[in-house]
Amino acid sequence: MRIDVVTIFPAFFDVLEVSLLGKARGAGILDVRVHDLRDATHDRHRTVDDTPYGGGAGMVMKPEPWGEVIDAIAGPATEPQDAATEDAPLFIFPSPAGERFTQATARELATEQHLVFGCGRYEGIDERVFAYAATRGRVRLISLGDYVLNGGEVAAMAMIEAIGRLVPGVVGNPESLVEESHEDGLLEYPSYTKPASWRGYDVPDVLLSGHHGKVAQWRHDQQVQRTRERRPDLLAD
């Protein structure tokens, strides 16, 4: 999978060099390329923002630098009807005005060949950038949740982590991905390791029994109980 990131803070994504995603990059499973939006400016101040038409507080990111970076990433211009094909890059713009990101979204996006994350700042990106990107690929505005961040970098990083770990070969034991929270619509069951007793807290007897059927049933019951207590919205009425 190829992942391009457009940002005015490229150093923010240095963390992608470490941990599982860093190993995946080293192994050639993930091809991550970070682009500094300011490199597409042509004034000595490297300006990427300007005042909004219609007035209002804050600044808006200018379309010109975005257009140049989109062209550089997407390659030669394609016919409009080709922009929606599966071979075209999928542009993802983190935005509180976007669709909600979920584990199902992460699993869907993990099947893509080329993702491009556009990280906005200030009061957002000129709306025309989304329209232009749609002529060079597919476009989705995606939100981590019902709150606002200072920019798209944190959201992009979270999505890259969630998506990247689902790409085959990134996580060593694929079975561990199946038993996680949200994979089956439930929260994950509690986990324990040695020692069996610690500071007066004991591991549940069923986990020490060696009876796989009882362990599986206990874990499922714990999932349902946790979900009912913490995220009842996930359970069917």
pLDDT of residue 179: 62
pLDDT of residue 180: 62
pLDDT of residue 126: 97
pLDDT of residue 81: 47
pLDDT of residue 66: 98
pLDDT of residue 185: 83
Spatial distance between the Cα atoms of 23 and 170, rounded to a whole number of angstroms: 8
Q: Which residues of the chain have pLDDT under 70?
A: 76-84, 175-183, 237
Spatial distance between the Cα atoms of 127 and 28, rounded to a whole number of angstroms: 35
pLDDT of residue 221: 96
Spatial distance between the Cα atoms of 152 and 147, rounded to a whole number of angstroms: 12
